[in-house]
Structure 1
């Protein structure tokens, strides 16, 4: 599925890879933004269960610095890395029946106890960075947001706004 269609950014599927043409990457988003023009207002249609955290952060940052107004339309779901992307909107619209989910980042390691401890520290640092993004958008303290992330919290449209 193309990422740029009819003047809109359409982010459907897995964040960070284009498995069977059902996902999108930060590179594709940057290419679409260049085609759209940096000063033009932008509508982003988002429907994703998530994917790679750093890809989500890269897309968030690309949209966050876009000079035109960015409106995020959550068509059904913005979960995990996709919820981070949603935070880049100057305006976020959650459509009827849509949901948003935030949680602590996850990963896997193979190796010694020391390697697992390093991975834990890296995930903890990434979780704190993501909490800062959610906190900045919501106006909530990052420590409070981090606990909500650790609880893996699902929000309806109304709950997300609150």
Structure 2
């Protein structure tokens, strides 16, 4: 994006590139220091969402009174910038164009999913701003984010997106922006549009120095050309973005590794809990797959809760062998006599003679009447 400064007017034409956001913030700060009222002349078909947001936030939070004049088109991110301000005017032959935020990613499925999540978050924020700007319902403004939606000055005013019209700064033939597309529509104005303030430089020497110092730019100084300074700013932010992308990729890889380790730990814990339940006689081998599914779907805490409600089951032989005390007969055998024991469970009767001699003697005497 090309910026021109004349007194209290900042002209911003072209694509919003990476780095333009901080460049604009620096320029605005310098103009704010001298002027309480600032005019921004905008003609853009959008660009970087993040840099556009920097510009929009700086304008919204400015202590100076900001007047935004759309002198050609404000499309895509340019349209979003206009939403942040109250005093927005547009030339009568200009256009707004709204659509949903877009982007692209390279890499793994996780990279694409993260980008999609980010775009949905940005779109949600756009909808919120549209509602605040126009006072219309969410369902009404959402339609502006489906496809490319062009609005001329009359419609933009009717929808509450601009305050009023301005006289055209260029004479353009009638055309349909939906047929021409965003780039060609932009070019129709750009071919004739010139800033009213005839400037040879975008940045004054007094503005170059603080920008260079603030960003720590290398290879340029206050005497360098505008192009050299702008390129240095762009390179500065391109380097930051490249590093940020590399850091994000490394962070994503660490997340994948951590998730795999956590999954393995969870699997080991689930196996240990199920094996303990099997050993306690709560479940059988045939039921293992069922309880593994419960753990995978609801977590190990849910598995522990389910298994905790199941009583341990001991075999009958274990009950016979392990019960002690005066009354260790298996449940349901209290009324067995000597003959019943001998017929149904002679081994248990034999064990009773050694472990419970009094019980055995009682049964024996009852049979033989001793």
Bin of the TM-score, shorter chain as denominator length: 0.7 to 0.9
Query: Partner of 1:14: helix, strand, or coil?
Result: coil
Query: Partner of 1:2: helix, strand, or coil?
Result: strand
Match of 1:84 in 2: 80
Structure-to-structure mapping, 1:27-46, within 5 angstroms: 27-37=22-32, 40-46=36-42
1:53 correspondence with 2:49: yes
Cα gap change, 1:142/1:57 in structure 2, threshold over 3 Å: closer, same or farther? farther
CA–CA separation in structure 2 for the residues paired with 1:124 and 1:87: 18
Where does structure 1 lack aligned partners over 5 or more consecutive residues?
A: 19-24
Cα gap change, 1:60/1:143 in structure 2, threshold over 3 Å: closer, same or farther? farther
CA–CA separation in structure 2 for the residues paired with 1:70 and 1:89: 8
Contact 1:135–1:141, Cα closer than 8 Å, also in 2: yes
1:63 correspondence with 2:56: no
Match of 1:21 in 2: none
Structure 1 position 17, deviation (Å): 4.1
TM-score, normalised by the number of residues in structure 2: 0.40
Match of 1:22 in 2: none
Query: Partner of 1:100: helix, strand, or coil?
Result: strand
Higher mean alpha-carbon deviation, 138-147 vs 119-128, is at: 138-147
Contact 1:128–1:142, Cα closer than 8 Å, also in 2: no
Contact 1:127–1:146, Cα closer than 8 Å, also in 2: no
Select the structure with the greater relative contact order (CA < 8 A; seq sep ≥ 6).
1
Structure 1 position 106, deviation (Å): 0.6
Structure 1 position 135, deviation (Å): 2.0
4+ residue segments displaced more than 4 Å: none
1:94 correspondence with 2:95: no
Where does structure 2 lack aligned partners over 5 or more consecutive residues?
A: 159-370
Cα gap change, 1:151/1:2 in structure 2, threshold over 3 Å: closer, same or farther? closer
Which structure: larger Rg?
A: 2
User: How many residues end up aligned between the 2 structures?
Assistant: 156
Cα gap change, 1:100/1:84 in structure 2, threshold over 3 Å: closer, same or farther? same
CA–CA separation in structure 1 for the residues paired with 2:133 and 2:115: 27
1:74 correspondence with 2:75: no
Structure 1 position 48, deviation (Å): 0.2
Match of 1:105 in 2: 101
Contact 2:3–2:13, Cα closer than 8 Å, also in 1: no
TM-score, normalised by the number of residues in structure 1: 0.86
Contact 1:128–1:146, Cα closer than 8 Å, also in 2: no
Query: Partner of 1:127: helix, strand, or coil?
Result: helix
